[in-house]
Amino acid sequence: MILAYTLTGFAVGTVIGITGVGGGSLMTPILIFGFGIQPAIAIGTDLLFAGITKASGGLTSAFKRQVEWPVFSKLAAGSIPAALLTVIAEARYGRPDNHTLTLILGLALLLTGIALLFREKFLHGKFHVKMKPVSQTGLTFLAGCAIGILVTLTSIGAGAIGIALLLILYPDYPAKKLIATDVMHTVPLTLIAGYGQLRLGAIDLHLLAGLLMGSLPGMWLGSKIGSQMPERLMQKFLAALLAGIGLKFIM
């Protein structure tokens, strides 16, 4: 099974390296449908998987000064406390049952697919709205809260949904920097939420190790070949795949 986990991690890591998204939205369904992992364990394990896998990309962006730290701070001010409160609520009242988790997963995947499908429209400013700095700060905080809760419950949402919201809220910022900011924000959020799930016993460390052995070289390979592949086609395919998986979860 370790070999199967490693190959899966390699495949998902390569997709992340090419497209920048797909960690939680691809890995969690694969673990549930492909390996028969319980949803709670799949979500918890994937949180740490995503945090560790994307750490190199986030740190690289930080060293290149591509991260917009004021935006990062506003987003993290909402997401990290929300993630911690969600973990505390799960510890006190219990995690949602499998039926509820699969329903939430389905909705999250569907939203991710839609966000990814319309990513080009976000990038070209078709959904951008001018707003006052105070409103911008408040909405960024609320977006962070929503992402923190969603990511902790499902491991999905920090990538495609996060960048879609940032592109709408900050139309005057370079898209490249907002994407880098979103990747950097994903790292502490998923690591903190993942640690919380570890404390709750919702992580399979052997599974995590197998996935990471494949994902880290996969990320490196994906980042190398990404410029040679039609990313737009890959994004469309990934969006349709995620939306389809989401509908399967819901139905």
Q: What tens digit of pLDDT does each residue of 136-159 get?
A: 899 999 999 999 998 999 888 777
Q: What is the pLDDT of residues 156-184, one digit of tens each?
A: 877 778 888 888 888 788 878 888 898 88
Which amino acid is residue 55, in one-letter code?
A
pLDDT computed for residue 76 by the predictor: 95
Residue 167 zone, left/alpha/beta (φ > 0; ψ -120 to 50; rest): alpha
Q: How confident is the model at residue 58 (pLDDT cuts 50, 70, 90)?
A: confident
Distance CA 28, CA 141 (A): 26
251 pLDDT above the threshold of 90: no
Q: How far apart are the first and last CA of the chain?
A: 29
Q: Considering only residues 223 and 181, tell me which one the structure prediction assigns the higher pLDDT.
A: 181
Tokens coding 157: 């949402």
Most confident of 17-21, 65-69, 112-116, 234-238: 65-69
Residue 231 reports pLDDT greater than 60 = no
**CB contact set of 242 (below 8 Å; sequence gap of 6+):** 25, 26, 109, 110, 112, 113, 116
**What is this structure's pTM?**
0.82
Domain borders along the chain are 2-250
Are 108 and 154 spatial neighbours (Cβ–Cβ below 8 Å)?
yes
Range 62-75 average pLDDT? 90
Can you give the pLDDT at residue 232?
64
